[in-house]
């Protein structure tokens, strides 16, 4: 059974991705940082439904701790699917943005991608089969007021994904990004009113975590073996 690590697996989109991958027959490693209890609940739900799952907890922005935890996971064999979904926001106009707001957001989304992908790459490549998906955002494509840090981190992932895809293409490993728009969750409920969604999204609704997860799941499947180096938007025609 192939193993999949989903960073940020305790959030709304992350949990939907974990469930989707489990239904596809993967052993899912549900990652969390501060919300380990929620990750345990999700893993338990997957097991109750007949799937296979475990949890892991560490800060993806911490290079040393990430390497330590991933080394432990690799003792059981290669992790052939990585979905880097972990991300945070700390919104402010750039003129009033603190250094910590800038570095923390980039630390989790962009540096975190490096911290989790690098230790997994060589073991994955030796199997000559692998799938890496980074969760981006519509903000990484078109920018967003008050999110220069977040947009920079997400658009940085696009460059990393495209470059890494070229480096590992001959080893049967694909690397892609999925860029959601406004997706229904506790976070977006506070950030976007119904009027905001009607104005911003041509489809006049928010997406669902399951709609994002289905695209991620496809990219992690054998059917997507010739799709690599792409940034795929799931945003209701926003961009």
pLDDT digit string, tens, across residues 176-200 = 999 999 999 877 777 788 999 999 9
- What pLDDT was estimated at residue 134? 98
Q: DSSP string covering 151-176, please? A: HHHHHHHHHHHHHHHHHHGGGTEEEE
Rounded to whole angstroms, what are the CA distances from 179 to 7, 184, 234? 16, 14, 6
Summarised one tens digit per residue, pLDDT across range 29-40 is: 999 999 999 999
Percentage of the chain exceeding pLDDT 90: 95
pLDDT of res. 28: 98
Residue matched to tokens 């707001």: 101
Instruction: Give the separation between CA 136 and CA 179, rounded to whole angstroms.
Output: 4
Q: Domain spans of the chain?
A: 3-182+209-234
pLDDT of residue 19: 98
Residue 203 has pLDDT above 80, yes or no: yes
The CA distances from residue 158 to 14, 99, 228, in Å, are: 19, 23, 12
52 among known catalytic residues: no
pLDDT of residue 189: 75
* Alpha-carbon separation of residue 232 from 137, 192, 218, 219, 225 (angstroms): 10, 23, 12, 10, 15
Two structure tokens written together for 193: 């009113």
- CA 31-34-39 angle, to 5 degrees, is 40
For residue 109, the model assigns a pLDDT of: 98
pLDDT score of 129: 98
Q: How far apart are CA 38 and CA 103, in angstroms?
A: 26
Work out whether the CA dihedral 146, 214, 236, 206 comes out positive or negative.
Answer: negative
At residue 188, the pLDDT reads 78
Residue 50 exposed, middle or buried by CB count within 10 Å (0-12, 13-18, 19+) = exposed
Catalytic residue among 6, 148, 150, 213: 150
Query: What is the tens place of the pLDDT at every residue in 63-102?
Result: 999 999 999 999 999 999 999 999 999 999 999 999 999 9
Q: Which homologous superfamily does the CATH classification assign to the domain defined by 3-182+209-234?
A: NAD(P)-binding Rossmann-like Domain (3.40.50.720)
- State the average pLDDT over residues 145-172: 98
Under the banding of pLDDT at 50, 70 and 90, the label for residue 47 is very high
How far apart (Å, rounded) are the C-alpha atoms in residues 233 and 239? Answer: 8
């Amino acid at each position: 059974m192939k193993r999949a690590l989903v960073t940020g697996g305790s959030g709304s989109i992350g949990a939907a991705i974990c469930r989707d991958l489990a239904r596809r027959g993967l052993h899912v490693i549900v990652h969390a940082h501060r919300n380990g209890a929620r990750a345990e609940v999700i893993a338990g739900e997957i097991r109750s439904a007949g799937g296979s799952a475990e949890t892991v907890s560490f800060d993806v922005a911490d290079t040393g701790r990430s390497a330590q935890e991933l080394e432990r996971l690799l003792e059981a064999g290669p992790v052939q699917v990585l979905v880097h979904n972990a991300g945070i926001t700390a919104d402010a106009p750039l003129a009033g943005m603190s250094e910590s707001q800038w570095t923390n957001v980039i630390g989790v989304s962009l540096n975190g991608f490096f911290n989790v992908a690098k230790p997994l790459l060589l073991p994955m490549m030796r199997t000559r089969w692998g799938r890496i998906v980074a969760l981006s955002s519509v903000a990484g494509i078109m920018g967003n007021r008050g999110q220069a840090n977040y947009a920079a981190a997400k658009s940085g992932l696009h460059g990393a994904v495209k470059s890494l895809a070229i480096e590992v293409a001959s080893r049967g490993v694909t690397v892609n990004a999925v860029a959601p728009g406004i997706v229904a969750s506790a976070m977006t409920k506070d950030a976007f009113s119904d009027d905001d969604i009607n104005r911003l999204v041509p489809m006049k609704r928010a997406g669902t975590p399951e709609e994002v997860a289905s695209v991620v799941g496809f990219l992690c499947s054998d059917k997507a073996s010739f799709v690599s180096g792409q940034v795929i938007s799931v945003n209701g025609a926003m961009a």
